Amino acid sequence: MCTGKCSKFIGISLYPLAVVSIIANILLFFPDFQVIYSQEQAEGQYRLTDEIKYMGGVLGGGVLVLIPAIHIHSTGNHGCCANRCGMFLSIIFAAIGAVGALYSGVIAVVALIKGPVCMLENGTWCRPFVNSTENIYFEDSDYWDICEEPKDIVVFNLGLFSILALAACLELLLCGFQMFNGLFGCICGTCRNKEVA
């Protein structure tokens, strides 16, 4: 497969991953699909997990991957970017995308380890799983019942942060592969100019 076609495939593959990251991060702002949790404060703290506000899915896995995806995709098409210079720039863009994916993935993993913010039976809002040394809440779903509100917050956070972590891993893999592909494209060319338009 020539480097141009490979770039086109990588660029097209990055689009849905960036969109999924953005949507997952936005949904995290609305636990139980309610707006009140992102508006209310408990003792000066928002009732959302801190990692949601870092916008890893929107900024890292979203924007910082979407912009490189556009350039990487264009290196696989006929035109101004389908040349050695465009492939060199795709290495830089892919590195930016890899940094964004890494940012998104690290935030998602930290959020999974610490667990969600929720209200306990006594009415206090906290992160009940953050001090768990064995991360018991991953293994025992009966332990999730200590969170009274928002409803099913543990499943909600586990699902969406897992999606963010998975999307970030795939984005990191694709961007890393594009850095090598871009290097070969700089040396050998894109082989797009050898094809008939």
- Where in the chain are the domains? 3-188
What number of other Cβ atoms are within 10 A of residue 187's Cβ?
10
pLDDT of residue 195: 47
Give the residue carrying structure tokens 């408990």.
42
Closest CA relative to residue 179, chosen from 107, 80, 99: 99
pLDDT of residue 131: 72
- Write the CB contacts of 26 (distance below 8 Å, at least 6 apart in sequence): 57, 58
Categorise residue 125: left if φ over 0, alpha if ψ from -120 to 50, beta otherwise. beta
CA distance 86 to 94: 12
10-residue mean pLDDT series, the chain (197 residues): 78 94 94 77 69 92 92 74 76 93 96 87 82 66 81 90 96 93 76 49
Closest CA relative to residue 17, chosen from 54, 55, 62, 60: 62
pTM of the model: 0.86
